[in-house]
Amino acid sequence: MVSQADRIYETQTQAIARQLLAATREGRSLFAQMRDQMRWDDKLLGWTMGNPNLRVQLFRFIDCLPALRSKPEIARHLQEYLGDASVELPSALKGMLNFANADSMPGQVAATTVSTAVETLAHKYISGENTRQVLKTLERLRKDKMAFTVDLLGEAVITEAEAQSYLDRYLDLMTQLTEAAQNWGTVPAIDLADGEPLSKVQVSVKLTAFYSQFDPLDAQGSEARVSDRIRILLRRAKELGAAVHFDMEQYAYKDLTLSILKRILMEDEFRDRSDLGMTLQAYLRDSEQDLHDLIAWAKQRGTPLTIRLVKGAYWDQETIKAVQKDWQQPVYNHKPATDANFETMTRLLLENHEHLYAAIGSHNVRTQAHAIAIAKALEIPRRRIEFQVLYGMGDKLAKAIADQGYRVRVYCPYGDLIPGMSYLIRRLLENTANSSFLRQNLEERPVEELLAPPIAEMMNPEPSSLLTPHSSLLTLFQNVADTDYAEIEARDRIQNALQSVRQQLGKTYLPLIDGEYVETSETIESVNPSQFTEVVGRIGMSHVEQAEEAIAAAKTAFPAWQKTPATQRAGILRKAADLLSQRREELIAWMVLETGKPVKEADGEVSEAIDFCRYYADDMERLDQGYAYDLPGETNRYHYYPRGIVVVISPWNFPLAIPMGMVVAALVTGNCALLKPAETSSVIAAKITEILVDAGIPRGVFQFVPGDGASVGAHLVKHRDVHMIVFTGSQAVGCQIYASAAILQPGQKHLKRVVAEMGGKNAIIVDESADLDQAVQGVVQSAFGYSGQKCSACSRAIVLDSIYDTFLNRVIEATRSLNIGLAESPSTQIGPVIDAEAQRRIRDYIEQGRTEAEVALEMPVPDSGYFVSPVVFANVLPSTKIAQEEIFGPVLAVMKVQTFDEALTIANSTPYALTGGLYSRTPSHIEQAQAEYEVGNLYINRGITGAIVARQPFGGFKLSGVGSKAGGPDYLLQFLEPRVVTENVQRQGFAPIEGAD
């Protein structure tokens, strides 16, 4: 039911919008300007509007451009990006790029023309590269009766040095701006409101930039570190008379950002400040509720502050992240839904103008007209509302609003063009998107269409067809979502689980043989590597005789199990997956305490274990259908049969996902499985046993056989009744298993199959065109996540000479900024290594490294557990031990090369071929790496750890292992024997003919 107020608002909105729209259309369109002036920056922007493929490639080139250091480099990249066959070039651009050599004069002319055009384009949206330039811009805005807020562009804050620099630069910026403001005359339209003086200077800041390790999981620690710097900023702003506004960034940080600001702005020191503000993004589905919460909070606070209402600048990023994480999308899928929500929030905000002042940020004429209509109807005082636009966008709209007597503020980013390029790309995307009001207005769409109310039904969530996975495997398989620790309920659950599991420490876990838990003569203690005095559990160690009993039980159980329908076996796996989901937090807690794995790392492992169960269940049902190839008079049937008894020897570093994946692969294919886990993670293996038993695995089909590797493990490998060994661990043990399994034992009637994943010496190459923010973060996370104890971890960074020093310095500072401590602490990024032997071995390698290279970073660590300092070695030679041997700890060797070919040669120089990475924005380098990089899993422009089932099936070759990739479409085939049955169906010269009458 449309209310009387709604009708009045809509009538006024239409009238005001038509006035504003007419003002924005004065003069010629952008396209007319391009035709007449032939400006290259305008041409580039115009071409992207009519050519989607050119738009993508050109924006990717612009993103890369600041990293290119010479005209030949620019020319070469221009051809690589725009020379793609799928890109239809305008004739002018095609002619300019028609050069044979990037070093040629035509190549240099093309480079100069395009780079100059992009720089000109950037200056349209970035208010200056230094304080002198930005002051000139601000003074010009004030002459046009426009207020401003200044945002400092900068590199991503990934080190504490950068976080401190961010604060210092803002303190300096506010000082310079207020000193300049002393010479500015008063402009009543923007400096006064209702007789009240307003701050001439305003800055906009990002909370996450105040602390490099800002993380919702560590809400308390993040708040403490951020709040200290906020207080410093706010105190200095008060001394100077400057206003401060807090921007909003990615959705993951939204709740924590609001929580921190609400708390700090209620402190007595800041509670009476009305020159402060926060931001809400209308494209978020929960933004209206956030506004309701802020209104209630503001009433309690008693002093109004400003809410900047914007539509949001990270739609693509938020949508893609949600799809990749299997999370619900936090943003509306369609722009009309965002527009409708914006109008709802505008009305709510303006109807509560006594408690919250409004800053309406939009370039949409209807959106701004709607706000003006409400402001007029409610007779809102001018102090309580202003309108905002981005620098370089909506200039005519801003002037039209100002001409109506309203205060207009221009958001002015300033800083170097290199760190500002991501901001530029967002502006270009916004300007050229089909749904952009600016574009539609430039195209002079009908007024009725431009000013129509947003369609309410578009608010319903709908999946975006653009984000549907292209792979049939991904289409069929839905990965389970990791936990989103931005949600406070998720953080509470894991803390409760840690407390609960702590109450269960010290119990004894016995082997499971033929469906019964059996006593053992020997037990070992599994301790918490963060605090090695704490016993997590006691493990009953099987002896060889009990291993024999387990094999005999499996042999007895096998005939019935192999005849169990595949759908029934798959059902048990799906039940196990459900149990894993139900026990997620508990299992995370066990991994944290028994193996020193930080919470987020352990959470991802639970997801992987669940995915293994469901993916292999689906895949076995597919394989069970077999294949048919019939001819007249002949049928051919291709079917799979289980091998028999499978011994699973699992590692400690992925104590849940890897053993679960290997075991359920054996079980769902109809084999019987014996699990011999690593001694240091046997409690978690016991939890796997509980889950499989509860899921309904029959007695004897699966058995838990913890024991000494040299005796029990070796006995199982050599046993004549074992058909297959599945192993993940060190190269030395893997090769020994491979050799032992190859020996035919007396009475053995089969050759054993061995699947062995044996680690790697993984490298990430960083070339001259790389996004260094991404590269530094990716290398540091890949090298030091879980203290480098992943077979996929990065142990070598191979960096091109021209960026080597910059990269190395940032890696050092980023690593120095990581928090080292107990694995259970939410702030910890680097926990302990697994045990004393690992600690000794890694430290020996570090000592060896001191003789081979330069120690660029070493840090103090706690002495309460098995901690090893993260170490960065610089100027490492390819032939050294630390560059060739797997260390399996937090040690990174950084190597310098002159060419990309040399980088690939060094990357391929070890006997391993597991994972590798490349950070590059050079298409030819990416193409060459895809063809020549000798790794099983190659990751481009992302970290090299964290493979996801079905998306990135995992495994390598050379000495990294043998066998198909875990979580891939051919993994189960290793557990099966294929058989073909051919039948001659002719009888006396005739054969059944299918479909005959």
Tokens of 788: 């480098």
Beta strand 243-247 pairing with 753-757: unpaired
DSSP 386-426: EEEEETTSSHHHHHHHHHTT--EEEEEEES-TTTTHHHHHH
pLDDT attached to residue 625: 95
pLDDT attached to residue 87: 84
User: Which one-letter DSSP state was computed for residue 218?
Assistant: G
Average pLDDT of 402-412? 95
* 278-318 residue pLDDT tens: 999 999 999 999 999 999 999 999 999 999 999 998 888 89
Beta bridge partners of residue 247, listed in sequence order: 206
* 212-229 residue pLDDT tens: 999 999 999 999 999 999
Closest CA to 699 of 689, 709, 707: 689
d(CA 444, CA 291): 34
Confidence of residue 10 (pLDDT cuts 50, 70, 90): confident
d(CA 253, CA 354): 28
Beta strand 356-361 pairing with 305-310: parallel
* Least confident window among 17-31, 311-325, 379-393, 968-982: 17-31
pLDDT attached to residue 29: 47
d(CA 808, CA 819): 19
Tokens of 608: 């992987």
Beta strand 276-281 pairing with 196-197: unpaired
Order of strands, edge to edge, in the sheet holding 915-919?
Answer: 854-857, 871-874, 891-897, 794-800, 762-766, 915-919, 937-940
Closest CA to 793 of 886, 659, 868, 874: 886
Average pLDDT of 462-480? 57
Q: How far apart are the first and last CA of the chain?
A: 66
Catalytic residue among 162, 585, 608, 757: 757
Average pLDDT of 444-464? 64
Confidence of residue 431 (pLDDT cuts 50, 70, 90): low
- Proportion of the chain above pLDDT 90, given as a percent: 80
d(CA 889, CA 845): 9
What lies within 8 Å, CB to CB, of 354 at 6+ separation is 304, 384
CA 30 vs CA 47, 114, 181, 439: distances in Å: 12, 19, 35, 10
Which amino acid is it at 41? D
Q: At what angle do helices 40-50 and 52-64 cross, to 10 degrees?
A: 130
Do residues 547 and 604 touch, judged by C-beta distance below 8 A?
Answer: no
pLDDT attached to residue 23: 83
Confidence of residue 475 (pLDDT cuts 50, 70, 90): low
- Look up 791 and say whether it is catalytic: yes
pLDDT attached to residue 421: 74
Average pLDDT of 850-859? 97
Do residues 741 and 754 touch, judged by C-beta distance below 8 A?
Answer: yes
d(CA 728, CA 710): 16
Catalytic residue among 64, 412, 672, 791: 791
d(CA 608, CA 657): 6
pLDDT attached to residue 123: 85
pLDDT attached to residue 33: 43
Beta bridge partners of residue 987, listed in sequence order: 990
pTM: 0.94
pLDDT attached to residue 53: 86
* 229-275 residue pLDDT tens: 999 999 999 999 999 999 999 999 999 999 999 999 999 999 999 99
Q: For residues 489 and 90, which has the higher predicted lDDT (pLDDT)?
A: 489
Average pLDDT of 470-483? 73
pLDDT attached to residue 940: 98
pLDDT attached to residue 155: 60
Highest mean pLDDT among 24-33, 395-404, 681-690: 681-690
d(CA 678, CA 649): 7
- Look up 757 and say whether it is catalytic: yes
